[in-house]
């Protein structure tokens, strides 16, 4: 499709996504690109009054005069709030835009890089002859599942009303004709009368092919909605107190890249290197950086390992069993020895107190005591580990956790640790 072809913009708050659609040669719109929204403010639901920090929901028309190349927020276009529906319902506010700078107070804020693209797409469409383009702003993707999750929200009647415009676009891939009468939206209406936003609706008709397709879709969605509600689908909170939202890609970029799961194992988030730069004015939703199911704060460190020179670093005091358990956990984290039973510990790692006096008893025969035949007996009573000690040239320094039994060799552990790094 040529760059001058008409565009249409769709916004989904909860998912924090902005879609740009372009018209093809057949007059139908095709999705060109989906942009993650850097920031929107308020809660789900339409804007009611000035100062409520709500970003608008509904159908808005953008003309060339609403494009601002000299915006304080890099580039912007004004949504045109309040529109005919908003004014008919007494809603107030002004200067609500889609702009750059990733900071929002009732607007939809993108990054400067994103806004440069979106602004250029609108400008080229105007150069190509499009008189205005439509912005459809929704609280979320208008699925039965999302409606069921938010079924207790007081904005539900409004959302069901604008869902009809959403359904028409999804079924026809054409910009729905929007009118307002009796303080409500009317879609795809054909009438010779005048639509008065506050007055009585004139007699109008909707093309049969549109009316039939929309009716069938709505019936399917209502059945799914009723089924989900009957099964007790959990409802979302009406107010979160977070003051809006931010696309998960930007949240991931703001959060620490190093995380720990419940077992203390470290992992990294997916790369966010391609996420556009957010600038210096980014203001994430309240509590959003602490809302992960997996906490960004590292878990308490495992028992400390031996130093490279063989000297054991300080470790928490505990029983031999707890030290052995810590070694097993370290082995599993590093991917070896998982599931293998630990070898049985030696009878004793240090000679007991009683054998020591026996080694000092050697001089007694020299004092005249008649016990030369008993001399061979002490070696048999000494444990095997004690008997082997004199044969070793030098004792090997311990390279284990303090208090642990020597079940993992220092060299093997260091080799595997280096390979893991």
Question: Minimal CA–CA distance to 216: which of 254, 181, 264, 168?
Answer: 168
How far is it, in rounded angstroms, from Cα 321 to Cα 3?
70
**Is position 99 annotated as part of the catalytic site?**
yes
Strand ranges inside 102-247, DSSP E:
108-109, 133-138, 178-181, 184-187
Output the CA angle 311-317-323, nearest 5 degrees.
Answer: 75
How far is it, in rounded angstroms, from Cα 261 to Cα 325?
19
**Is position 201 annotated as part of the catalytic site?**
no
394 in Cβ contact with 311 (< 8 Å): no
Question: Strands 184-187, 108-109: parallel, antiparallel or unpaired by DSSP?
Answer: unpaired
Reduced to 3 states (helix: H, G, I; strand: E, B; else coil), residue 314 is: coil
Question: Strands 7-12, 133-138: parallel, antiparallel or unpaired by DSSP?
Answer: parallel
Q: Which of 38, 99, 102, 181 is catalytic?
A: 99
First-residue to last-residue Cα distance in the chain: 50
Reduced to 3 states (helix: H, G, I; strand: E, B; else coil), residue 352 is: coil
Q: Which of 102, 107, 150, 181 is catalytic?
A: 107
157 in Cβ contact with 65 (< 8 Å): no
Question: Strands 39-40, 108-109: parallel, antiparallel or unpaired by DSSP?
Answer: antiparallel
Catalytic machinery residues: 99, 107
């Amino acid at each position: 499709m040529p760059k001058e072809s008409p565009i249409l913009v769709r916004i989904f708050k909860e998912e924090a996504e902005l879609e740009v659609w372009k018209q093809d040669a057949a007059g139908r719109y095709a999705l060109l690109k989906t942009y993650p929204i850097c920031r929107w403010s308020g809660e789900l639901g339409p804007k009611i009054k000035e100062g409520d920090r709500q970003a608008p929901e509904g159908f808005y028309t953008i003309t060339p005069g609403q494009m601002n190349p000299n915006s304080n927020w890099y580039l912007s276009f004004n949504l045109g709030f309040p529109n005919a529906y908003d004014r008919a319902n007494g809603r107030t506010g002004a200067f609500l835009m889609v702009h750059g700078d990733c900071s929002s107070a009732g607007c939809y804020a993108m990054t400067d890089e994103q806004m440069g693209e979106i602004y250029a797409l609108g400008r080229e469409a105007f150069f190509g002859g499009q008189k205005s383009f439509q912005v459809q702003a929704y609280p979320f993707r208008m699925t039965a599942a999302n409606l069921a999750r938010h079924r207790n929200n007081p904005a539900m009647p409004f959302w069901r009303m604008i869902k009809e415009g959403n359904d028409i676009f999804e079924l026809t891939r054409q910009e729905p004709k929007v009118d307002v009468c009796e303080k409500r939206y009317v879609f795809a209406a054909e009438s010779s009368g005048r639509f008065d936003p506050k007055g009585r609706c004139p007699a109008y008709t909707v093309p049969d092919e549109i009316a039939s397709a929309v009716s069938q879709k709505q019936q399917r969605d209502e059945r799914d909605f009723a089924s989900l509600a009957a099964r007790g689908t959990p409802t979302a909170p009406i107010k979160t107190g977070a003051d809006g939202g931010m696309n998960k890609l930007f949240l991931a970029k703001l959060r620490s890249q190093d995380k720990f799961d419940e077992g203390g194992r470290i992992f990294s988030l997916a790369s966010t290197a391609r996420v556009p730069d957010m600038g210096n004015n980014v203001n994430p939703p309240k509590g959003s950086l602490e809302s992960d199911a997996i906490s960004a704060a590292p878990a308490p460190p495992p028992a400390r390992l031996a130093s490279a020179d063989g000297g054991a670093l300080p470790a928490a005091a505990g029983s031999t069993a707890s030290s052995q358990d810590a070694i097993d956990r370290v082995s599993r984290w590093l991917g070896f020895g998982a599931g293998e039973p630990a070898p049985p510990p030696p009878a004793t790692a240090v000679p007991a107190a009683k054998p020591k006096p026996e080694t000092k008893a050697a001089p007694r025969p020299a004092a005249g005591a008649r016990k030369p035949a008993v001399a061979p007996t002490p070696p048999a009573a000494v444990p095997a580990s004690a008997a082997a000690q004199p044969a070793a040239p030098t004792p090997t320094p311990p390279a284990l956790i303090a208090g642990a039994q020597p079940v993992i060799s220092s060299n093997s552990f260091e080799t595997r640790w280096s390979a893991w790094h």
